[in-house]
């Protein structure tokens, strides 16, 4: 059954990968490097909002879905999503951060957080099928709404990207909310002090690490915008977008691992599952990195346009860090599932310090290449810290990274089934 979940999630993430690449190619060709830069900055601001809202709506919802009544968990998740989704973007507008897109930022933040709550609930209740469905639909419907708005409504401005995303998230939230509400009892939607305290304590600790790690991923955007301009952000963001698209594949395995470990009572069994996930991720990342290396630079220019001639070199410089994060994510999800959150904060803080210090010196001197160097250095160090902590308490063997013949056979047998 676990193999089936992994395969289902892998397939859904592969579809997301294809849709993400398609969306990147489409947006760069329609709006160019400046448009892509604007999208990257606004999306980064949305992500910042999501880290505050995910104190209740993210992993906290997943973790407590089987510990408390679902209705009590949802009460706090939904209310928090609305409050944070409105107040934090308003704070951004007062600070003059992309104020011209305030209403889109609010819409995307609110409905993204509400939908995240529902998807997190699916993970916590081990309904991986619904989790996979809605994560694929987010990308698919976003693309469909963009096509409708551009080619049928005849809108051309970059704001089309944000309007389409708002409509997509709103529709998917309503659909998932209807599914969840059918299985809930109205009388159980009530406040509980214990639920609030436990969710908040777990949520802020988890999100503190995630937020700091996000700054490692995105702080270079803001440095680049300040020193090099918005077009440089657009060019550099292609490499980061590729990275995160690749990570969707390995994180599909991490999500299943998290769901299993949260619901597991055996520490030894959880460690074995984590090592098995490491093997699969290691193998997949080798395949993707080989692909990055062998693709000619001219292919990126053909796909994205002449403005993006540096993409191949950006990908090569980022590849060590991409590899490190993709593999260490397995360990990070394991620590999160067993509530060992301190190490997540430590690795994120150290990575952030590296990002800030190196960005201050490298980006003004070397521009995009400096941003690549800073990003890879931060990823490598933070990933190494997680590995060091994990293997302090487990037996380390080289074969932990090598997928066995039996595991390949088991996966192939799962793929060959007719019903998914």
**Which pLDDT does position 194 carry in this prediction?**
87
Residue 342: per-residue pLDDT: 81
Cβ atoms of residues 136 and 16 within 8 Å: yes
Query: Quick one: pLDDT at residue 396?
Result: 63
Mean pLDDT by 10 residues, the chain (420 residues): 56 74 82 83 84 84 82 89 92 65 91 92 81 88 94 90 95 94 81 86 78 77 83 82 74 74 76 78 80 81 78 86 83 81 83 89 90 90 87 69 61 46
Q: How far apart are CA 244 and CA 237, in angstroms?
A: 10
Q: What is the pLDDT of residue 418?
A: 41
Give residue 10's pLDDT. Answer: 62
Residue with tokens 């409905």: 111
CA distance linking residue 395 with residue 136, whole number of Å: 37
Contact present, 180 and 118 (Cβ < 8 Å) = yes
Extents of the domains making up the chain: 2-415
**Residue 399 DSSP code:** G
Which pLDDT score is estimated for 6? Answer: 57
pLDDT for position 1:
45
Q: What is the pLDDT of residue 328?
A: 82
Answer whether 145's CB lies under 8 Å from 164's CB: yes
The distance from CA 333 to its chain's CA centroid, rounded to whole angstroms, is: 12
């Amino acid at each position: 059954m676990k193999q089936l979940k992994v395969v289902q999630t892998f397939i859904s993430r592969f579809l997301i990968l294809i849709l993400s690449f398609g969306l990147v190619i489409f947006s760069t060709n329609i709006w160019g490097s400046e448009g892509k830069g604007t999208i990257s900055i606004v999306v980064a601001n949305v992500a910042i909002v999501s880290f505050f809202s995910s104190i209740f709506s993210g992993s906290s919802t997943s973790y407590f879905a089987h510990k408390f009544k679902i209705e009590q968990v949802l009460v706090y998740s939904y209310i928090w999503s609305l409050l944070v989704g409105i107040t934090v973007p308003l704070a951004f507008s007062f600070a003059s951060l992309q104020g011209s897109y305030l209403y889109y930022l609010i819409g995307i933040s609110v409905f993204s957080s509400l939908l995240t709550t529902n998807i997190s609930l699916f993970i916590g209740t081990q309904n991986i099928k619904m989790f996979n469905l809605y994560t694929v639909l987010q990308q698919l419907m976003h693309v469909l709404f963009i096509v409708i708005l551009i080619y049928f409504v005849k809108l051309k401005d970059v704001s089309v990207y944000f309007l389409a995303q708002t409509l997509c998230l709103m529709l998917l939230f309503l659909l998932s909310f209807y599914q969840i509400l059918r299985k809930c009892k109205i009388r159980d939607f009530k406040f509980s002090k214990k639920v609030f305290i436990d969710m908040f304590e777990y949520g802020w600790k988890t999100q503190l690490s995630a937020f700091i790690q996000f700054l490692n991923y995105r702080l270079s955007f803001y440095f680049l915008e300040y020193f090099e301009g918005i077009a440089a952000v657009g060019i550099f963001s292609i490499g980061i977008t590729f990275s995160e698209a690749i990570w969707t594949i390995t994180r599909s395995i991490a999500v299943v691992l998290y769901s299993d470990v949260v619901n597991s009572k055996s520490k030894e069994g959880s460690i074995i599952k984590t090592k098995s996930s490491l093997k699969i991720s290691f193998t997949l990342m080798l395949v993707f990195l080989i692909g990055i290396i062998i693709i000619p630079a001219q292919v990126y220019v053909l796909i994205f346009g002449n403005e993006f001639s540096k993409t191949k070199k950006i990908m090569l410089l980022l590849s060590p860090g991409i590899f490190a994060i993709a593999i260490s994510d397995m360990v990070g999800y394991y620590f999160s599932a067993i509530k060992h959150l301190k190490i997540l904060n430590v690795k994120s803080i150290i990575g952030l310090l590296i990002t800030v210090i190196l960005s201050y010196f490298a980006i003004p001197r070397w521009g995009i290449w400096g941003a690549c160097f800073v990003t890879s250095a931060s990823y490598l160090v933070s990933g190494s810290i997680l590995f060091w902590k994990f293997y302090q308490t487990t037996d380390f063997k080289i074969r932990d990274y090598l997928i066995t013949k039996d595991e390949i056979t088991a996966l192939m047998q799962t793929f060959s089934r007719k019903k998914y």
